[in-house]
Structure 1
Amino acid sequence: MERALLSEKLLEELNVIEATVSEVIKKCDLSISKCRDLIYRFKKQISNFTFKSVDAEIQFFKFTKQLPLSNLVYYSELRSFEIQFPLGNQEVQKKYIQKKMDKINRFFRYNLDFVQYIEQDKKHLDESYFTRAYFKDVNITYSRHYYRDKDFCTSHDLLLAKLSANKRLIAYLKKRFSKINENCIPCDDCSESNLKWTFSNTAYVELLYALSSVGAINDGKVEISLIDKVLRKAFNHDSGDIYKIYSEIRRRKKSRAKFMEDLTRGLEDRMDSADA
């Protein structure tokens, strides 16, 4: 329970960084530092720890550890991408982005079975994938895997983190590519409107799903991804992987619709003030 709360707290801190820090490299540096701190804290707790059950161990490696680990992979890859981003003409920049996207797409092709396993929410191999007991059975094909800590890693926890991070990177790269096609120099100050989403990304996803759930847009006959596309443009907001964030919201231990509750209280307070 304590470790899950620490992961939720990290998510809130990362959302604050996303909403308040505009410079990408600085954003990555701050986020990487926070993710590494929590992973190190988890490692000290878990390395010599025996879980009460297999389900508890799966819960940690498949969900709790994933939040700092997948964000660490994402912000590390994003930082590397931005540091090496070419200063040449637009065609050079587009080729650089396309090369990165091709590399990510190869990752998804090479790991297609595991990608489908996760996306279809299957669980029958979780014990093999997300407990340490099977780590020694991994067929090691890359030398770097020899350096992974068998007391803090499973056969597929890092692969799952890379999967989540690469989904976010694809969304980021598409936005980068789109900016260039619009003859706009990609930067944090370049926006489609004068409006900017200033709350957390979690709050944004709450609003997105709330609008979809009550049928507020097109009587509910519209894909949530299309609503997200319109709101991202209207609010100049990089929403990232909305499906992953929604899944994290569903696993909250406390209020699962905190932002909706804050909206209700805010509106009622405003009306009460007007009536006074």
Structure 2
Amino acid sequence: MKYSFQNIILEIHNKEDKISSQSKRLIDEAYEMTLYLQDLLFSVKKIVTEEGFKDDEEEIHFFRIIKPQILGKLIYYNKVYRIETTCPVSNGKMYYSYFSGQLANLKREYIDHICNSDFYRYYRSGRTDRDDIFFKRGNINYHDGLNSIVFEIDPTFSTFFDYKTARIIANELLYSYLLTKINPDEDPDVILQKSESSKDIFWTESKNALIELVYALHAAGVISHGKIGIRKISLMFQILFRIPLGDLHHAFHRMKTRTGSRTAFLDQLKTSLEEYMDKDL
């Protein structure tokens, strides 16, 4: 294939960061990302159908990793836009009830269509031994009683299981988004407005760098013997530095699919500390 897809995921992350840094409403962010991802998916489809793949490995990588990232986030942002634009109020019991209902619907969909499937267990376990069946075109087995969406997909641009992978990605992102909506007492934006004691302390690196640090501390279990969750750890940093970090899970998902080092900020910290130590030698 003449066109390389290696930088697509990075391009998506950069687009998300750019839009997020513009301090737009969530509705506007979701709408702009939906349009962007829709155009990107169309462009990628044109390349795939016209040029094909150089080998099976490239095809499997595309349908297991690249396309599900594009489609999964497209599904996610479109759903967020629909949820936000139909929300009846901006706070109160009705607000809480609305988002609780959305979360219940998501959990029901997860139970009915995702978590009990053999493919979900295969994907979640990190197995790759059946990738040549799941992520190569032309292998759809209609005897398996597949979801009716299979009849609507374009067989030149889908294996069906890339769509299922995209749904898993979208549902994970939606779950994290809805959790932040139904826990208003832990809303960093509200707490930051009330906090006055740390005005002279502020974070001067990127939000992603702080999120990387938060996840590292959580993974190492070094705060409260690892007995408090990632959201509480992040909340402490958000209050201390007066900086809202937004959707942690979404940001972490982007980190996991970075090109190059996935721990760029931690690597930078290590280098800076070693250089600082060397000054005293």
Give the equivalent residue in structure 2 for 1:274.
none
Of 73, 84, 87 in structure 2, the residue corresponding to residue 85 of structure 1 is 87
Give the equivalent residue in structure 2 for 1:176.
181
**Superposition deviation, residue 23 in structure 1:** 0.5
Q: Which amino acid aligns with 2:226?
A: V
Of 65, 71, 90 in structure 2, the residue corresponding to residue 69 of structure 1 is 71
Distance 1:141 1:164, change over 3 A: closer
Give the equivalent residue in structure 1 for 2:124.
119
Once the two structures are superposed, the pairs formed by residues 81-160 of structure 1 within 5 Å of their partners are: 81-87=83-89, 90-110=92-112, 111-112=114-115, 113=117, 114-135=119-140, 137=142, 139=145, 141-142=147-148, 145-160=150-165
- Output the CA distance in 1 between the equivalents of 2:170 and 2:134: 18
Distance 1:175 1:228, change over 3 A: closer
Distance 1:37 1:203, change over 3 A: farther
Once the two structures are superposed, the pairs formed by residues 172-251 of structure 1 within 5 Å of their partners are: 172-179=177-184, 182=185, 190-192=190-192, 202-212=208-218, 217=223, 221-222=225-226, 226-232=229-235, 234-235=237-238, 236-237=244-245, 238-241=247-250, 244-249=253-258
Contact 1:129 1:156 survives alignment (8 Å) = yes
Unpaired runs of at least 5, structure 2? 239-243, 277-281
**Superposition deviation, residue 149 in structure 1:** 1.6
Q: Which amino acid aligns with 2:7?
A: L
TM-score (norm 1): 0.77
**Superposition deviation, residue 76 in structure 1:** 0.4
Q: Deviations over 1:39-85 (max 9, x none)?
A: 12211110133323322211111111222211111110000000000
- Output the CA distance in 2 between the equivalents of 1:169 and 1:49: 34
- Output the CA distance in 2 between the equivalents of 1:203 and 1:135: 42
Give the equivalent residue in structure 2 for 1:256.
262
C-alpha RMSD of the superposition: 3.5
- Output the CA distance in 2 between the equivalents of 1:255 and 1:165: 24
Give the equivalent residue in structure 1 for 2:5.
3
- Output the CA distance in 2 between the equivalents of 1:229 and 1:125: 39
- Output the CA distance in 2 between the equivalents of 1:178 and 1:166: 18
Moved more, 122-131 or 58-67: 122-131
TM-score (norm 2): 0.76
Q: Which amino acid aligns with 1:132?
A: R
Question: What is the count of residue pairs matched by the alignment?
Answer: 261
- Output the CA distance in 1 between the equivalents of 2:106 and 2:55: 35
Contact 2:53 2:59 survives alignment (8 Å) = yes
Unpaired runs of at least 5, structure 1? 272-276
Matched, 1:56 2:58: yes
Contact 1:25 1:82 survives alignment (8 Å) = yes
